[in-house]
Structure 1
Amino acid sequence: MRVYTNKEELITEIKQRSQKYIAEFEKIPEDLRNRRTDEVDKTPSENLSYQLGWLSLLLGWKEEEKAGIEVQTLAEGYKWNNLGKLYEFFYETYGQIKLIEQIQQLNDKVEELCSWIDSLSEEELFKPEIRKWATTKARWPVYKWIHINTVAPFTNFRTKIRKWKKLYYRSLL
């Protein structure tokens, strides 16, 4: 997993990766948002819904902690050993809106996340066990939770959506 030297580097990486990821959806017509291909595990809408779901969870954990609520990670009713159920919730929650709206919501959540990161001290971001919700057996600092739910999937899922486009457009020939 990538290590960042400061919060500015993390924010820059999130913004760059998210914009490259989002750009992959620009030419996908709305009527193909739920089109499945055999070689890619998510439709374009599911792909965006996944990202919206994880960013919403991260931002929700921050808000609950701020409100003095004991944060339950992953989310109430969901277990780490059954993430498929959570992903289905993401698809149902965010998959009902148009791609352009999913993209706008994702842009908004990325901006909100980056503003929150900017408000954190370097210690809050990079030292383990500062945030209760981020304290696990692995002793991850907050930045790792952020990276694994933003930069990593923006990068990996960009490849998947590019493959989806290639397979779909090839099928038109």
Structure 2
Amino acid sequence: MQRYRNKEEFIEELKKRYQLYDQEFNDIKEEEKNLLQPGVGKTPSQNISYQLGWTHLLLQWESDERKGIEVKTPAPNYKWNNLGGLYQSFYDQYSSYSLQEQRELLQNKVNEIITWIENLDDETLFTPGRRKWATTPAQWPVWKWVHINTIAPFKSFRAQIRKWKKEKGTA
């Protein structure tokens, strides 16, 4: 997994990967947002809904912990060994939005995450055990949770969207 020298490098990578991911949606028509292509596991709407769901959860975990609310990860009523239902809840929650609205919502979530990171001290961001919601047997620091729920899927899901467009014949 990629490592970061400091908070600034981490934020720059997040911005870069988000921008590259978002640009892939520029030439997808609204009427195609729910079109499933062979060999691609998600429609464009599901792809971005997944991102919206995880970015929302990251921010919710942090918000709840700061309010003294016990955080249940990944989400209340969902367990780590059964994420399919959680993903479906993301798709259901955001499916009524247009693709452009989904993109705007995701931009807002990414901006919120950047602001949150900017306001964290380096110890909280890079040292394991600084947030209860991030303390698992793996002992991941906050940055790693953010990375695997933003930067990493922005890369892999960008590839999925590119494959979707290739299958459709528009790439």
Shorter-chain TM-score above 0.5: yes
How many angstroms does 1:95 deviate by? 1.7
**Corresponding position: 1:92 with 2:92:** yes
Aligned to 2:167: 167
Aligned to 2:36: 36
How many angstroms does 1:59 deviate by? 0.3
**Corresponding position: 1:8 with 2:8:** yes
Sequence identity (%) = 55
Aligned to 1:52: 52
Output one character per residue of 1:122-145: Cα deviation in whole Å (capped at 9) or x when no partner: 000000001000000000000000
Aligned to 2:139: 139
Give the CA RMSD over aligned residues.
Answer: 0.7
Question: Given that residues 134 and 140 in structure 2 are in contact (C-alpha distance below 8 angstroms), is that contact kept between their aligned partners in structure 1?
Answer: yes
Count of residues paired in the alignment: 170
How many angstroms does 1:156 deviate by? 0.4
Distance 1:156 1:71 in 2: 28
Amino acid at match of 1:110: V
How many angstroms does 1:8 deviate by? 0.7
Distance 2:96 2:137 in 1: 36
Distance 1:38 1:135 in 2: 38
**Corresponding position: 1:24 with 2:24:** yes
Distance 1:27 1:12 in 2: 25
Amino acid at match of 1:47: N
Any idea what SS the aligned residue of 1:82 has? Answer: coil
**Corresponding position: 1:64 with 2:93:** no
Question: Given that residues 38 and 167 in structure 2 are in contact (C-alpha distance below 8 angstroms), is that contact kept between their aligned partners in structure 1?
Answer: no
Unmatched 5+ stretches in structure 1 = none
Amino acid at match of 2:168: Y
Output one character per residue of 1:60-91: Cα deviation in whole Å (capped at 9) or x when no partner: 00110111101111100001001111000000
**Corresponding position: 1:125 with 2:121:** no
Unmatched 5+ stretches in structure 2 = none
Distance 1:131 1:142 in 2: 7
TM-score, normalised with respect to structure 2: 0.98
